[in-house]
Amino acid sequence: MSNASSRARVKELRKLIDHHNYQYHVLDSPEIPDTEYDGLFKELLSIEDSHPELITPGSPTQRVGATPLEEFAKVKHDIPMLSLSNAFSDQEIQDFDRRVRDRVGGASIEYVAEPKMDGVAVSLLYEDGVLIRGATRGDGLTGEDVTHNVRTIGSVPLRLLGAGYPRVLEVRGEVYMTTQGFEALNVRQRQHDRKVFANPRNAAAGSLRQLDPRVTVERPLEIFFHSFGKVDDGELLQTHYDTLMRFRDWGLRVCPETRTAMGWQQCLEYYQDLLNRRGHLDYAVDGVVYKVNAIEQQRELGFISRAPRWAIAHKFPAEEELTKLLDISVQVGRTGTLTPVARLEPVSVGGVTVTNATLHNQDEVERKDVRVGDTVIVRRAGDVIPEIVAVVRSKRPKRTRRFKLPTKCPVCESDVVRREGEAAARCTGGLFCPAQRREAIRHFASRRAMDIEGLGDKLVEQLDEQGLVHDLADLYKLKLEDIAELEHMGRKSAANLIEALEASKDTTLARFLYALGIRDVGETTAQTLATYYGSLAGLMRANRDDLQRVPDVGPVVADNIYTFFREKHNQRVINKLKPVIGRLKQPRPNPTTKLGHTLPLSNKTFVLTGTLTSMSRDKAKAALQALGAKVVGSVSKKTDYVVAGADPGSKATKAMKLGVTTLDEDRFLDLIQDN
Ligand code: D41
């Protein structure tokens, strides 16, 4: 290529890449697939490679500098980065609004409400639209120069788009890590035996404080801009909200949850709504921020000490608290897995008292170096099981006790083994182990399995203790008299249980397979197996190779299924369950189904998100599966369709980012009906 045409093509490519970057990061709506973007990028790299004189700092290829820094330079903020006052109750917000109205007058104030990102506060300086410096907030007066790292963040424009921006523009925002990115990062860190981060904020802070930008570029960092500092030779708009919308035009990413709100009432509505959706957002939020919208009113209000009078943070209940670890005990699960459980000094986390938290497995205990006597950070988010995030090392007492999983099962004293490559240690007692037996029965009876109403934990324990139920099949041999004699049971509840047992026999092959509790056979696999084999007998005859032909059944799962049905005890139980099996609603073993490709939605992967109005999510899932589709929990490039109901949340956003087709409820219903 001639020099002139290279120059022209480079210019064109940079423009295209900047544009698609903007569509992807700022608007969340990519116009081209990733591969095409990569193609443009590679072409630019290749031209720059043969024409190094054409490289400019603003080129999208120049995000990562080659040489690590020796140390961070200090940056003095010309205009201090103020802090935010905090409020923890509705009353404090009403008081804040009252103070604002007292100063500026007027009946009702317009605010901008936005999530309070739990990330790292930064300031980015653009001159003539070119990013020239990025700095952390530090103490508000002086921060650290992290330009080399900020440049690696894909959603930070190296050059502003469009026109009309001031010659000097300092924008302020929050660098954060998405929850998904954070989890994936920790998986990688573990694989490489590197430091695991306690939460997305620590991970973001640690990533931004790297001297080597080649480390930072590998970290899934994002940014939202929420305000501005220095502005020279140019004007911004009259309201905070309009200013943020201009930011977006210039390629600066603004949180899509940003809204205007009239008076404290709408602020509180916004708060409640965001709090309800907190668990569905793809980023950590520790509250919301309200800001007076009119810049003129902001000026009138000014600030006291280091915080503006025109803004306030309304904090969410904390999801993490400190407490003392009193002891570590061991729980034995359905498949014999031994789980270390931390016994804690009771602590209220987000309004719920937590006394236990899972420690997952021995490796996790060691990785986190958790010891009895330690002060620990407990986390309880939404409905997830509380867990220990990290130990507060500075609070470790002189005497602590390390934990080691026992080599004998604490329930049945059978040997405990840990298979090569597995994280879990297991009791080898099988159904001889009361813990495993009880868990197996509980699972069998659970709602999504055989759905035996009234067969709760206490009752299972009693049935086991009294020797009334040794295996799953014994459940169906229970006599009313036996049950009625148990503690807290009468003839009435006994009769109800007998009835529930009878009713449970009307079920499907898929549910029955799931209920058996074969390791790694969850609902989805059970469903696939049922469709593929059509009958229990067919499945039981299958060898390992046959099983691996079933979609999504790999060698490990195939082995688990195969061994399960070869086990003498299991065969006996299944034989005893014949009366139930005889009644199972079995899909016709369909040779076309067996090929695995001929159902209308075979080979199609779906993700359901949000609330559907016409049916429950389970119904929708079943409908899709009946058409051969696979329904999974999270969106990836392999997803074919995302069905988005009301309030869809982060999965829908992710689908958009990845260019996955999203169906609204109407289109989803059409699809089901057409097939
Ligand atoms: O999302 C945030 N963490 C956030 C922080 C936000 N949405 N808005 C903010 N606004 C301000 C003012 C009103 C002072 C411009 C802030 C912060 N400050 C802030 N971040 C760290 C200290 C203060």
pLDDT, tens digit, 9 for 90 and up, residues 630-671: 888 888 888 889 999 888 878 888 888 888 888 888 888 888
Task: Tell me the residue type at 378.
Answer: V
Helix axes 263-277, 90-104, angle to 10 degrees: 150
Q: Within the chain, which residues score under 50 in pLDDT?
A: 590-597
Tell me if 82 CB under 6 Å of ligand 1.
Answer: yes
Residue identified by tokens 């497995």 is 361
CATH number of the domain within which 171 lies: 3.30.470.30
pLDDT at 284: 93
Nearest to 361 by CA among 342, 376, 344, 345: 342
Phi, psi at 7, each rounded to 5°: -55, -45
Which residue CA neighbors atom 8 of ligand 1 most closely? 226
Could you tell me if 121 and 249 lie in one domain?
yes
CATH number of the domain within which 367 lies: 2.40.50.140
Residue 117 alpha carbon to ligand 1 centre in Å:
8
Domain that holds residue 19: 3-62
CB atoms within 10 A of CB 100: 23
CATH number of the domain within which 515 lies: 1.10.150.20
Provide the domain count of the chain. 5
- Establish if 70 belongs to a structural domain: no
Catalytic residue list: 116
- Establish if 401 belongs to a structural domain: no
- Establish if 69 belongs to a structural domain: no
- Establish if 404 belongs to a structural domain: no
Could you tell me if 301 and 329 lie in one domain?
no
Q: List C-alpha distances in Å: 425 to 109, 272, 333, 388, 430.
A: 60, 43, 11, 20, 13
Tell me if 142 CB under 6 Å of ligand 1.
Answer: no
Phi, psi at 589, each rounded to 5°: -65, 105
Which residue CA neighbors atom 7 of ligand 1 most closely? 116
Could you tell me if 199 and 308 lie in one domain?
yes
Could you tell me if 451 and 541 lie in one domain?
yes
- Establish if 71 belongs to a structural domain: no
In sequence order, the β-bridge partners of residue 173 are: 122, 225
The rounded distance, in Å, linking the Cα atoms of 438 and 470 is 9
Nearest to 62 by CA among 138, 131, 139: 131
Question: pLDDT of 204-260, one tens digit each?
Answer: 999 999 999 999 999 999 999 999 999 999 999 999 999 999 999 999 999 999 999
Could you tell me if 214 and 118 lie in one domain?
yes
**Cβ-contact 204, 98 below 8 angstroms:** no
Considering only the C-alpha atoms of the chain, give the largest distance between any 2 of them, rounded to a whole number of Å: 95
Could you tell me if 249 and 369 lie in one domain?
no
At residue 304, the 3 state secondary structure works out as: strand
- Establish if 117 belongs to a structural domain: yes
**Cβ-contact 283, 86 below 8 angstroms:** no
Could you tell me if 269 and 157 lie in one domain?
yes
Q: Among 553, 571, 597, where does a domain finish?
A: 597
Could you tell me if 574 and 631 lie in one domain?
no
Q: Among 395, 430, 454, where does a domain finish?
A: 395
Tell me if 121 CB under 6 Å of ligand 1.
Answer: yes
Could you tell me if 45 and 102 lie in one domain?
no
The rounded distance, in Å, linking the Cα atoms of 385 and 387 is 6
At residue 119, the 3 state secondary structure works out as: coil
- Establish if 562 belongs to a structural domain: yes
Q: In ligand 1, which atom is closest to the CA atom of 291? A: 13
**Cβ-contact 247, 231 below 8 angstroms:** no
Q: List, as one string, the DSSP characters of 631-644.
A: EESS--TT--EEEE
Q: What angle do CA 350, 354, 360 make, to 5 degrees?
A: 110
The rounded distance, in Å, linking the Cα atoms of 176 and 201 is 6
Could you tell me if 54 and 200 lie in one domain?
no
Could you tell me if 302 and 336 lie in one domain?
no
Q: Among 577, 597, 617, where does a domain finish?
A: 597
Could you tell me if 282 and 379 lie in one domain?
no
Tell me if 83 CB under 6 Å of ligand 1.
Answer: yes
pLDDT at 195: 85
At residue 230, the 3 state secondary structure works out as: strand
- Establish if 93 belongs to a structural domain: yes
pLDDT at 598: 60
